[in-house]
Amino acid sequence: MKIFPEHPRGIHLCGNPDWDFLLHLDIDILSFNAYNCGEIFVKYREGINGFLDKDGMFGWGIVPANYDEFIQESADGLIHRIETLWRELEKAGFDLPRLLSQSVLMPATCALMNPDGFDTVEKAYDSLKNISRLLQTKYLQPSM
């Protein structure tokens, strides 16, 4: 029985949980730390496919909000990281346009406070917007 059937239900995890269990839950959105756990996550292809088949949405947490990780990254490096995960799924037979249509980019972690206060978190969200625009231009623009 769904308590709030008119609202999507989701979960966000910063760690590396039991992916098979999560992919089979009755949830609509699975947000996860693709930055640190993406290479493991993409190995759960059967569960990922089943989640997509039930119209689930993935929140790919690709931009770290932790100071130590964030300062080591660039937009190009993060784009390369997420595209590597997507390419691995595509090579395994996933339809990339379908996968992307059921995906959204998110921060990798829930870090709200860092040694620099909130500055890293604000920069992480700015970086996320920039990366999202770049990937939308690359993947969602109609070809001419």
Q: Is residue 36 part of a domain?
A: yes
* Per-residue pLDDT, 144: 47
Total structural domains within the chain: 1
Q: Is the pTM higher than 0.75?
A: yes
* Per-residue pLDDT, 143: 55
Q: Is residue 54 part of a domain?
A: yes
Q: Is residue 137 part of a domain?
A: no
Neighbours of 2 (CB within 10 A): 8
Of 79, 90, 80, 56, the closest CA to residue 132 belongs to 79
* Per-residue pLDDT, 14: 84
Percent of the chain at pLDDT above 90?
78
Structural domain range at position 88: 10-122
Q: Is residue 136 part of a domain?
A: no
Q: Is residue 118 part of a domain?
A: yes
Q: Is residue 141 part of a domain?
A: no
Q: Is residue 128 part of a domain?
A: no
68-82 pLDDT, tens digit each: 999 999 999 999 999
37-51 pLDDT, tens digit each: 999 999 999 999 999
